[in-house]
Every structure is written in structure tokens, then in C-alpha cells.
């Protein structure tokens, strides 16, 4: 009884994802895939930026690591010979299926996040943002210069196109379930306490550094997963794909939706994706019979920017702030959460 609604919802979702590619145009399926990947990335970004208060600008760095590592792991042996002839022997001789490669990519990112987090998580406020930005810059430069592994600044190509809508939706569900379990557990409460007041959190016995480190590491794991899925969706990419522009897009989605809310992160992605697709189609110009609009290229970006400004003026905490739809929170926690006043 307790899980029946959940099972029903998951079943419906599964049916939908299996059906959709057959009935929807290819264009919409691709939009849905990117949206799902972005939900994984933005929700996991929210774990550190929103729930723990470590405003990281390095999330895309982990995404890049995930994309490249899973790309290298899955590339067929013959393609490795063609594209990456100087690959070290233990990588050159075999390739992995999609799932293990994705998980390995996530684990690699988690390991890197743990190591760099030990010094970085001691910082707070703007300092941790700048330091994580430094990490993104380093990753970008390593990818450009590690030619034997990445083909450098040239396009890394030949990656199998494993990413399908069911894969993305499955990973998205896993991500959201795991993150909501963490964010609304006693550990999640400790995470939020370190965000609110580090000294007070220490005063009641919460260890600030390990708490932040764990949140950062888990976030990086899912960034790696998202990166891997994105790699097998794009099939070819370069280090420039995973850089400042992408970071800004993801941060916008998160801040717009509400940083300390998984619902907010999800809806931020949906809203930004839908709006930019709609506006992009509109800016080509359209004819409604009585009015005829000429094509104004670039107008969609301006409109999108204006919407962001308006949201921040009227709802600086983002659309959801730190609220969730009831579905996300466990029964016990729900009674303790703020009563929604205007949702």
C-alpha cells in the first residue's frame, strides 16, 4: 500500500519512455534526453550548492571527466587504434559495456572530488566558488593537453551512441531517489545545518568538513554519470563542450528552480529547456494569418535573459526556494518542513 503509488508512477514512467521514441518525433525525443541528463546534473549540483551551501562552479569539470572516461572505456578496440593510437596498454586492449563504464566514470569522479575536496571543503562562501572554478579550468587544460587519452583540443569521436531515453530516465529516477533519500535524512539535516551556520553546527557536534566532503563527493558521482550519458548521446565532443557556458546554464537552471530543492532543480531544468526550445522555434519567425513575425535571430536568448532577471527580482530564492512537492519528502520529515504558504 505504502509503495503502490510509487510503483504505479514508475511503471507509468517506464511505459512512457518505452513508447515515446516510437510515437514522438525524433526532435522531441532528443530534447527529452538532454532534459533528463540535465536533471541528473542540476539535481546533483544542488546537493552541494543548495543543501550544503558549498557554491561549486566545478561541477562541469566532473561532468567532463565522466564523459571522457566513459568514452575511453567504451570505445571499440578498432576505433581506439584509429583515434587514440598511443593509449596505454591496459586501456587499449578492451572495451566495456555501457553500464559498467558509466558507473566507473561516476566512481572516478567521486574519487577525484574526495581528494580535491579535502582542501577545498575547508573554504566557504565565495572562496570555495573561486577554488572550484580553478578545478574546472585545470580539468579543461588537462583534457586539452592529455592528447594520448583525449585527442587534445580536437574532437573526441567514435563513441557508441548508447544513450537512449529509457537509460536516461532510469538514471534520472535513481539520481532523484538517492538524492532525496540523502537530502531528507538526518545526514541531510546536518548538511543543511552546516550551510546555515558552521559554528553553530560544530557546537552541536556536527563535523563540518566531513559533512561537506561527503555531499561534494556524492554530487560529483552523479555529475560523472550525467557526463557519461551526455557523451554517449553526443557521440563526439571536445573539451570546449564542457566549459564555462555549460556551467552557467546549469547554475541558471538550479538558481531559477530553487537551490535547496530537488523539485526546484528538476523544474528549473524543465522550464529552461522548454522555454529555450519554444523561443528558438519562435525566433525563426511565424505566420498566424493575421500577424506575421519576421525572423529575429538571437531574440530567444534576450527573452530568456529577461525571464531570469524577472524571476530573480520577484523570487530571489528561485521558484521553489527550499520547498518540495510532498512526494519527495519522507513522512516523518514532512511534518518538520516549513508549511508551504504559496504553493
Partner 1 sequence: MSETLLKIEQLEVNYGAVRALKNVSLEVKSGEVVALLGANGAGKSTTLRAISGLVKAKSGGITYANQNIARLNPTQIVALGVSHSPEGRRVFPGMTVLENLRLGASQRNDKENIQADIDRMFEMFPILSERKTQTAGTLSGGEQQMLALTRALMNRPKMLLLDEPSLGIAPLIVRQIFATLAELKKTGTTILLVEQNVNIALNLADRAYVLRTGEIVLNGSASELRLNSERVAQAYLGGGIETQDSRAA
Q: Which residues bind partner 1 (CB under 8 A)?
A: 186, 189-190, 192-193, 195-197, 199-207, 260, 322, 335-339
What separation, in Å, do the N-terminal and C-terminal C-alpha atoms of the chain show? 27
CB nearer to partner 1: pick between 283 and 322? 322
The DSSP output letter for 259 is T
CB nearer to partner 1: pick between 139 and 255? 255
Give the SS3 label for residue 154: coil
CB nearer to partner 1: pick between 86 and 336? 336
In the numeric block, the cell 563526439 is attached to 236
How far apart are CB 216 and partner 1 at their closest, in Å? 19
In the numeric block, the cell 511565424 is attached to 286
How far apart are CB 189 and partner 1 at their closest, in Å? 6
Tell me the C-alpha distance between 316 and 264, whole Å. 13
Cβ–Cβ < 8 Å for 322, 254:
no
CB nearer to partner 1: pick between 7 and 332? 332
Tell me the C-alpha distance between 75 and 166, whole Å. 22
How far apart are CB 202 and partner 1 at their closest, in Å? 5
| Nearest of 162, 164, 173 to residue 98 by alpha carbon | 162
Cβ–Cβ < 8 Å for 136, 247:
yes
CB nearer to partner 1: pick between 277 and 333? 333
How far apart are CB 327 and partner 1 at their closest, in Å? 19
How far apart are CB 262 and partner 1 at their closest, in Å? 16
How far apart are CB 186 and partner 1 at their closest, in Å? 7
Q: Could you please report the per-residue DSSP string of 78-125? A: HHHHHH-TT--HHHHT----HHHHHHHHHHHHHHHHHHHHHHHTT--H
CB nearer to partner 1: pick between 284 and 337? 337
CB nearer to partner 1: pick between 25 and 186? 186
| Nearest of 152, 175, 166 to residue 68 by alpha carbon | 152
How far apart are CB 336 and partner 1 at their closest, in Å? 4
Tell me the C-alpha distance between 252 and 98, whole Å. 30
Amino acid at each position: 500500500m505504502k509503495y503502490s503509488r510509487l510503483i504505479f508512477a514508475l511503471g507509468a514512467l517506464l511505459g512512457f519512455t518505452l513508447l515515446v521514441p516510437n510515437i514522438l518525433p525524433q526532435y522531441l525525443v532528443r530534447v527529452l534526453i538532454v532534459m533528463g541528463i540535465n536533471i541528473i546534473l542540476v539535481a546533483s549540483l544542488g546537493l552541494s550548492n543548495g543543501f550544503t551551501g558549498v557554491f561549486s562552479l566545478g561541477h562541469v569539470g566532473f561532468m567532463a571527466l565522466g564523459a571522457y572516461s566513459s568514452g575511453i572505456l567504451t570505445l571499440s578496440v578498432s576505433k581506439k587504434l584509429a583515434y587514440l593510437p598511443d593509449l596505454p596498454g591496459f586501456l587499449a586492449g578492451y572495451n566495456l559495456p555501457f553500464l559498467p563504464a558509466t558507473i566507473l566514470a561516476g566512481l572516478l569522479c567521486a574519487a577525484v572530488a574526495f581528494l580535491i575536496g579535502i582542501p577545498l571543503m575547508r573554504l566557504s562562501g565565495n572562496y570555495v566558488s573561486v577554488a572550484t572554478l580553478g578545478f574546472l579550468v585545470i580539468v579543461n587544460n588537462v583534457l586539452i593537453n592529455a592528447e594520448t587519452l583525449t585527442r587534445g583540443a580536437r574532437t573526441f569521436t567514435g563513441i557508441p551512441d548508447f544513450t537512449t531515453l529509457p537509460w536516461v530516465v532510469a538514471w534520472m529516477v535513481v539520481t532523484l531517489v538517492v538524492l532525496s533519500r540523502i537530502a531528507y535524512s538526518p545526514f541531510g539535516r546536518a548538511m543543511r545545518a552546516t550551510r546555515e551556520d558552521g559554528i553553530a553546527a560544530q557546537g552541536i557536534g556536527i563535523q563540518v568538513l566531513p559533512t561537506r566532503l561527503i555531499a561534494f563527493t556524492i554530487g560529483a558521482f552523479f555529475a560523472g554519470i550525467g557526463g557519461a550519458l551526455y557523451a554517449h548521446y553526443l557521440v563526439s565532443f571536445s573539451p570546449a563542450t564542457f566549459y564555462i557556458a555549460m556551467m552557467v546554464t546549469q547554475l541558471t537552471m538550479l538558481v531559477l528552480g530553487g537551490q535547496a530543492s530537488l523539485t526546484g532543480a528538476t523544474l528549473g531544468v524543465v522550464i529552461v529547456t522548454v522555454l529555450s526550445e519554444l523561443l528558438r522555434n519562435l525566433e525563426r519567425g511565424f505566420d498566424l494569418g493575421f500577424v506575421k513575425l519576421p525572423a529575429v535571430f538571437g531574440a530567444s536568448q534576450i527573452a530568456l535573459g529577461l525571464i531570469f532577471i524577472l524571476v530573480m527580482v520577484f523570487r530571489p530564492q528561485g521558484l521553489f526556494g527550499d520547498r518540495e512537492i510532498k512526494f519527495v519528502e519522507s513522512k516523518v520529515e514532512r511534518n518538520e518542513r516549513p508549511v508551504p504558504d504559496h504553493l
